[in-house]
Every structure is written in C-alpha cells, then in structure tokens.
Amino acid sequence: MDNLTNKVGQDKIDLQVLKESEARFRSIVLWSPDAIIVTDEKEKIEYINPAAERFFNRKMGSFVGQDFGLPLVDGERVEIDIFRPGKEPGVGDMHVVEAEWLNKKVHLITIRDITERKRVEEKLRDSEERFRVAQEISPDGFTILRPVRDEKGEIVDFTWIYENQAIARINGTDPQEVIGKRLLDLFPTHKGTPVFEAYLQVADTGKTRILEEFYAGMIISKPTWLRLVVVSMGEDIAILAQDITERKRTEEEIRKNEIKYRILVENLPQKIFHKDINLAYISCNENYARDLKLKPEEIAGKTDFDFYPRELAEKYRGDDKRIMTQGRSEEIEEKYLQDGQEKWVHTIKVPVIDSSGAISGIIGIFWDITERKRAEEAMAAKVKELEKLAKIMEGREDRIIELKNEVKKLKSGS
C-alpha cells in the first residue's frame, strides 16, 4: 500500500513537472520574436505562433492545412523571400529541424525576420560601392592598413586591406596583388621613418596625424612630396595621400625668386617700401630701414605717424590714398627728413593690384635729389641775377652810340 501511495505521489510530481515544462515551452513559443511553424511529414501546416502571424501579416486559421510551399530539409538553413499581404516584401532566415510533437514526427521551422538587417547590408554595400568608385576616380591616394601585433600585443608591421589606383601609381604596386601583404616585406626601408612612426602612433592612440614627407629611392622611384593624413578606422588605419610635388616645386621656385629679388632690392641705392590697404607698412628694404633706425622686419604694422611729423605724415598718406583711389602711379618730388635734416626726394608710387583685380596697397620707391635741387636753385638764382642785370643794361647801348656820334661832331668842328 505504501508503495502504491509513493508511486501515485511520484506520478503527481512528474505530472506537475511536465505541466510546468509544457507551460515554459508554451511561453517560449508564444512570446518568441521568431516565427515558429509546425508542419506534418507531408509539409502541411499544423501550427504557427503569434510572431509568425505578425511576420506574414495573416492569422493562423488561414495557414492551418495549407502546404508550406517550400522544400523542407532537416538541418537546412536558408534565406527566403517573404511576400506579405498589405506589407512590403521581407526576408527571413529559415531553419528546419525534424522533431516529435504530439507523438508524431513533424518539421519544426523557425524564421527570423532579417528584413531590416538586409536593408542595412544593402545600404552598406551601396555605400561601399560609392566609396570604392569615389576612391578609384580620386586623384588622391587612399590606403587602409591593418596592424600586425606580436605576442606582446605590440605592432610590428601592417598588412594591406585596400589601396586605390592613385596611390598604386605613386608607390608602384598592384591594388589587387598587394592585399594581405605586409608593408615592411615590400618596403623594408619604411621602418623607422617618420611616416611609419605616425602609423604606429595612430594605430595605438587613435589620434589623427597630418604630415608632409619627402620620399625618394626605394619607395618611390622619383622625388615626390606627399601630404599624408593618417586616421584611425576601428582596428585599422586609413591614409589619405595627396601628391603635392608641383606645389612644393612652385613654392621652391617662389622662394628662389623671392631671394633673388630680395638681393636685388637690398642692393639698389633707392629706398623701397610696401604698405597695405590701410597704409600700414608691410615691408621695406635695408636702405629705407637704415634711415628709420630699425631693421627691415621691424617696420611691419607701423605707419608714417611713427616716423615723421604729423604734417609730413598726413601729406604722405594723402598722396597714397589719392593714388590708390585713382588706380594709377604718380611721380612726386617732395620733402623728406633724414637724421633730422630736410632733404628732397623723387618718389614713384604704384598701387598694388591683387589676383582678384582689387587694389590691396601701395609700393613706393624714392631717392635723394637734394644735390640736384640745390644745383637747380643755384642756377635759378644766377638766372635771376642775370635778368636783373639785363634790365639795368636795357637802353644803355643806344645812349652810348649817341654820345660817340656827338664826340665825333665836336672833333670835326661841325
């Protein structure tokens, strides 16, 4: 009797456990976010859960007894297109297993809605394609490198993930063959260079680096200037490379010309200055700076009021404004103070026109004409004296002739 009682008690416990297990599985099926479908061995639908109703936008009653419509293979996992009444088509990730359900063999099908994921992937593919096309037609080089770390986690090299045609032309590599290869295998002299150190720094810290680096020899066959922008891309680094060789050559040519003209200007005997649109000095040559008791580089930002009496400074600035307003050069003979002494100078002032055609300042060149002025003044004084003497002598020649004739008459007794 006790054994029977124990057996009945155990059966009740087993039944309770079974009911609890059934409840748990029912909850899982009912609340699962994935569509769950049960078909019999002939692939007729016997059950769908609420998630499947939402996924297909149909009630269970319209499914039960219908053919599933797709071949079902145990263990198979495939992506399927879903056409849903009143909703946009979707994509599902379908997994099929054979199982026991209500004491019979069935197909248990789970379908996860991956429509949004597919849309994101499609957008990502479109974005990647646009990126690829943009990089392939870009005149600038673009490279993606992935760090190679040793057992200590330290970066020892980089492998190519991507490079476009522009950088391939610069470094002489093939964009397809280079993928997966190590940087230092192809360019061993790269190690220890400022560029390689910049790669390491960006990969370790994530901080962007911008540098201009001159390449020659093994890496690039001809001398080339590159402007590099190195940025972090997750675990990778990206390098934008702009070929600035022509710009550098132009800058060097300008620098050489500037030196050449600076030497020429510094050796001219004339005084030369440059003012901006507000009539503040930008620069001058050594000869003018010497008169002002300063170095040429110290004149920047100063005005005539810093060097001359107000009346003279206003006169100079008035001339400058008139010339810039009229847009044409002028030659002026004017007074000038040097070491406290008043002198005369001959000044040529020319408006400066920038690349847009606007007047941006004025350039002046002048030289000392004091000796010439003094000579002209002496000559003018002499001329004035001669004119005065001529006026005094005017009419006296006729009177002398008359006196001579009277003397002759007296001598002849007439």
What pLDDT is recorded for position 320? 95
* Sign of the CA dihedral running 188, 191, 194, 195: positive
**CB of 279 closer than 8 Å to CB of 364:** no
What pLDDT is recorded for position 4? 44
Averaged pLDDT for residues 287-298: 91
pLDDT band at 348; cut points 50, 70, 90:
very high
Averaged pLDDT for residues 190-207: 92
| CA–CA separation, 25 and 96 (whole Å) | 18
Percent helix, strand, coil in the chain, to 5, is 45, 30, 25
Which residues are paired to 237 by β-bridges?
Answer: 145, 232
| Whether residue 28 has pLDDT greater than 60 | yes
| CA–CA separation, 164 and 128 (whole Å) | 13
Phi, then psi, of 98 in degrees rounded to 5: -90, 140
Q: How many residues does the chain have?
A: 414
The verdict on pTM exceeding 0.85 is: no
**CB of 280 closer than 8 Å to CB of 302:** yes
| CA–CA separation, 13 and 156 (whole Å) | 64
| Whether residue 23 has pLDDT greater than 50 | yes
**83-129 pLDDT tens trace:** 877 778 888 899 999 888 778 888 999 998 888 888 888 887 776 66
Closest residue by Cα to residue 30 from 63, 46, 54: 54
Closest residue by Cα to residue 275 from 365, 337, 368: 365
DSSP one-letter code for 172 = T
